[in-house]
Structure 1
Amino acid sequence: MTTTDGGSDGDPPEAATDDADTSEGTESEAVDRRYAVVLDYLQHGRADDDRPRHRKSPLAYALGERDFRLFELTFTEDADVSIGDRVVIGPTEARDVVDGFKQVEYEDLSNTANAELEYAVEEIIDADEDRFVDFYNDAQPITLRLHQLNLLPGIGKKLRNNILDQRKRGPFESFEDLEERISGLHNPREVLVERIMEELRDDDLKYKTFVGRES
């Protein structure tokens, strides 16, 4: 399913849920920019678009940095974009090369975008490690029997309780700190990558912790 927004005319509803940055200057001049990472750039549009080439706009598939939404972007005529680039998708007045966008689902991605997706997730986590370490610090119960930590691959009741006990003694400072303090938790970064990829691929998951949620 594809959800279309008014990306070319104003700030879409999900614009409040992609990665933030603050421009230099006074507080009144600060702009909360939302970024996406380009997964695939199609200079001449989609192959299944039967219009003449000169009538097809360049487009890209991209991953929102703040809440891992997937987008199809269109660009200005002078855009110079490559796979892996970070582009501003909101607010409208802060955009440079992006002309408009719409939210798409995992199955809408091109083969190249699909292949790049996990690398992009890893890069987003690496660029903001504190945010993702804080998931281990801040995760809460979902129901009386289910905890957010239990949604992570390989984390059962025993390991969950170990994490909860350890964080009472002090917050985790890094992935390395997590691995050192939690016996049996191997590569906590990769655990998050695996969960995020699962949430991206399976639109019918009952609980989503990272994809489509404001952080």
Structure 2
Amino acid sequence: MREEKVIVLDYLPQGYAGMKKMEPIIQGLGVNYFALLELVATKEVKLNEEVKINDKEKVIYIRRKLKESELTNFAKSHLEETIKKIVKSKEEEFIKFFNTSTRISIRMHKLELLPSIGKKHVGLILSERKKPFESFDDLKKRVGITVEIEQMLAKRIIEELKGEEKYYLFVPHFPTPTAPRR
């Protein structure tokens, strides 16, 4: 599971204030797995530009993986719009999620983890998906969801990026190691 491309959320030409070594920093969102990454840049990049990580003309190396709380305020303000753009471009994959999602437990379905989807909508989605959904518009029309599906999915992805969820649907979760018990 490796990100190959990131969308630039913020570009800091001098790096962070107080850094020992001044190097240009890119804060980016991975296109495939929604990983938040901090990259060291070789030359200036534009906001919302899609950058290949192995492109040595623009990126020297990946510095580290970021948490949502470590993003700059500017990057946080562009995060939801950027996620919506990625969701729209990967509509087929997300429709497949709606068509094939299963239960998490006896009482809970994966669809219930999405904001604005309750038990009634889950029941409607499950009964309507006997004929698979073809697009977000088809899903909205047949089920009667009033919110924008891209925005609903973007909100869920942001919650997962914060790293405090019990279940992860779209963002691979790598727990931070805990201190050993004594």
Q: What TM-score, normalized by structure 2, do the two folds share?
A: 0.87
Amino acid at match of 1:200: L
CA–CA distance in 1 between the matches of 2:44 and 2:127? 50
Shift of 1:80: 3.1
Letter in 2 for 1:188: I
Q: Which residue of 2 aligns with 1:123?
A: 85
Residue 139 of structure 2 is matched in structure 1 by 178
8 A contact 2:116–2:147 mirrored in 1? no
Identity %: 36
Of the structure 1 ranges 106-115 and 128-137, higher mean CA displacement relative to structure 2 is found in 128-137
CA distance in 2, matches of 1:83, 1:61: 10
Q: CA deviation at 1:38?
A: 0.6
Change (3 A) 1:139 1:96: farther
Counterpart AA for 2:47: I
For the pair 1:114 / 2:76, whether they are aligned, the reply is: yes
Equivalent residue for 1:146, pick from 79, 83, 108: 108
Residues 1:85 and 2:46 are matched in the alignment: no
**Equivalent residue for 2:8, pick from 18, 38, 54:** 38
For residues 32-88 of structure 1, the C-alpha deviation after alignment (integer angstroms, 9 at most, x for no partner) is xx1111100001111121x4xxx5111111111111111101022xx2301101111
Letter in 2 for 1:88: K
The one-letter code sitting in structure 2 at the alignment partner of 1:74 is: V
Task: Please report how far the alpha carbon of residue 187 of structure 1 lies from its aligned counterpart in structure 2 after TM superposition.
Answer: 2.3
Inter-partner Cα distance in structure 1 for 2:50 and 2:29 = 9
Q: Report the aligned-residue RMSD.
A: 1.7
User: How far apart, CA to CA, are the structure 2 residues paired with 1:200 and 1:64?
Assistant: 12
Q: Which residue does 1:156 correspond to in 2?
A: 118
Whether 1:48 and 2:18 are equivalent positions in the alignment is yes
1:74-114 residue CA offsets vs partner (Å, 9 max, x unmatched) = 022xx23011011112xx4x554111112111111111111
User: TM-score normalized by structure 1?
Assistant: 0.74
* Among 115, 120, 137, the residue aligned to 2:99: 137
Report how many aligned residue pairs link the two structures. Answer: 172
Q: Give secondary structure in 2 for the equivalent of 1:194.
A: helix
Tell me the equivalent position of 2:171.
211
Q: Aligned partners of 1:184, 1:46: CA distance in 2, in Å?
A: 43
Q: In structure 1, list runs of 5 or more residues that go unmatched.
A: 1-13, 19-33
- Distance change in 2, residues 1:144/1:95 (3 Å): farther
SS, match of residue 165 in structure 1? helix
Give the conservation status (yes or no) of the 8 Å contact 1:159–1:185. no
**Kept in 1: contact 2:13–2:44 (CA 8 A):** no
Look up the equivalent residue of 1:183 and give its one-letter code: G
Structure 2 gap segments, 5+ residues each:
174-182
